[in-house]
Amino acid sequence: MMYVVLRDDDAALERRVCESDRAAKTYAEAASWLQRESAYLRNVARLLDTAGTRLAVVLSRCPKAASSFRSENRSQFVAQR
């Protein structure tokens, strides 16, 4: 559904959505679902950030793990950029 919504320009999307009452109802339901899913994914992203940060702090307290974690984490961070 997201692909269909994003691939068309505004005029084409408007024609598609407004072509019938059934289409408008379907797209209204899709819009609600996409918004709910987006909120859920933002929450999951926050939890992942919190868990990663918390684990990194704890790892930094471990003498052997800290140096290993820092070098691995640094290379992953550079790879993501």
Average pLDDT of the chain is 86
Cα–Cα nearest to 57, from 46, 47, 44, 70: 70
Q: Give the tens place of pLDDT for each residue, 24-48.
A: 999 999 999 999 999 999 999 999 9
pTM, to two decimals: 0.64
Contacts of 6 by beta carbon, 8 Å cutoff, 6+ apart? none
What's the confidence (pLDDT) of residue 81?
43
How many Cβ atoms from other residues are within 10 Å of residue 39's Cβ? 10
Which one is predicted more confidently, 79 or 28?
Answer: 28
Radius of gyration of the chain (CA): 22
User: What span, in angstroms and rounded, lies between the C-alpha atoms of 72 and 69?
Assistant: 5
Instruction: Please give the pLDDT value at position 4.
Output: 85
Domain limits, the chain = 2-80
Q: What is the pLDDT of residue 61?
A: 86
